[in-house]
Structure 1
Amino acid sequence: MRRLHVRRGLRRDRPLAEALPHRGRQDRLHGLHLLRSRLCVTYVILGCRALLLAVFLAALVGKTRSRAAFAEFRASIVALRLLSRRLSRAAAAAVVAVEAVTAVLLVVPAAAAAGLALAVALLLVFSAGIVMALRRGDGTATCRCFGASSAPLGRIHVVRNLALAAIGGAGLAAGVSASGWPPHAAGTAVALAVALVGALLVLRLDDLAFLFSDPKRDLS
């Protein structure tokens, strides 16, 4: 009778024993799924950092590649007539300095959050300045954000800056749930490639806007 009781006990406990390995597999699968999602977030942060870094580096190089380029950028700030001539010149130097600091912070992983926050703040300031200039109705102000372009300021530049600020905000938001695991080489390559394409579109925005503009409206 005792042996029979033991056998019945083993039969009762068998479903529980069979369920334990299955539950362990489920936990492992859930952990892998969570890790993959966090790695995706890591790639999002990396892409946001790379895109903004490319944009700010291009802007910095475009303004400081020569004395003439910086003088043109400084003149464009003065032409906005948002500040006095003296303060406008100081603001031009401050913009270049802040862009350089932002680029350095975006490169350093430990300071990436500060770099993204500074980029968002700077882009919002740029957007506010452009909006104020447009409200004054001065059509002579040009966009020297990247040094070379002489396109007049327009709403498209506000949209561009706000879109870049949104990208920086997305990077900051994603940083809350980022994984500490190092990203894979393939995922890193994809994130950097997407960031490069996005940066090229931003840098050539004036050319794209001219390409798709209405010729009749431009001639009128």
Structure 2
Amino acid sequence: MGYVEVGCRVLLVTVFALALWSKISGREPWTRFVRSVRDMTPWRSTAVPVAVAAGEAAVIVLVATPLRWAGVLGFALAAALLGCFTVATALVVRRGAAVPCRCFGGASETPMGWTHVIRDLVLTALAVLGLAASTSFGIADVGMALIAGVAGAALGLVITRTDDLASLLR
């Protein structure tokens, strides 16, 4: 694993773990998430929210597994999910629907906006970058790998708090 791959792995595990936990941590967060998905899409079943949660869990497991094939699959799945999230969010914003973003917190009332689309695009690009980096071999310096992992975790935490950061800047 190269340093970029390590950083991207830790970043995606951080982002997807916080996203998943915010949805499944209780009945109320799950209900709010399901309601927001129903407000976003024409589908009224719980199949889409369950598929999203299962996909997020699969990304976490695959990307956290320190095997090359697991990383490749995890990065590819993350890129596909994030691409879908980007399109879905852009469609909601474009039609002007005031659907709250439940990506990283069931209690958030912040309606989806273009900042959410940009965040999803950045995450998609980072998943693709991780996928490309997973073709490199070896780490020369464990200390640098640790720094890359810490940087990935820190950036992941910042990304999950973009709603809070945007409200502070307003």
TM norm. shorter chain > 0.5: yes
Paired residue for 1:24? none
Tell me whether 1:45 sits opposite 2:2 in the alignment. no
Q: Is contact 2:71–2:134 with CA below 8 Å preserved after alignment?
A: no
Q: Is contact 2:13–2:64 with CA below 8 Å preserved after alignment?
A: yes
**CA apart distance, 1:146:** 1.4
| Distance across 2 between alignment mates of 1:94 and 1:173 | 26
**CA apart distance, 1:150:** 2.1
CA deviation profile, 1:119-154 (whole Å, cap 9, x unmatched): 000001001001111122212x01001133221100
Name structure 1 gaps, 5 residues minimum.
1-40, 214-220
The structure carrying a bigger helix percent of its residues is: 1
Name structure 2 gaps, 5 residues minimum.
none
| Distance across 2 between alignment mates of 1:138 and 1:132 | 9
What root-mean-square deviation, in Å, do the aligned CA atoms of Structure 1 and Structure 2 show? 1.3
* TM-score, normalised relative to structure 2: 0.93
Paired residue for 2:128? 169
Paired residue for 1:187? 144
Q: Which has the larger radius of gyration?
A: 1
Tell me whether 1:128 sits opposite 2:87 in the alignment. yes
Aligned length: 167
| Distance across 2 between alignment mates of 1:134 and 1:83 | 15
Tell me whether 1:154 sits opposite 2:113 in the alignment. yes
Equivalent in 84, 101, 105 of residue 43 of structure 2: 84
Equivalent in 140, 155, 166 of residue 198 of structure 1: 155
| Distance across 2 between alignment mates of 1:167 and 1:120 | 8
Paired residue for 2:103? 145
Q: Is contact 1:72–1:147 with CA below 8 Å preserved after alignment?
A: no
* TM-score, normalised relative to structure 1: 0.73
Paired residue for 1:23? none
**CA apart distance, 1:190:** 0.5
**CA apart distance, 1:160:** 0.3
Q: Is contact 2:72–2:134 with CA below 8 Å preserved after alignment?
A: yes
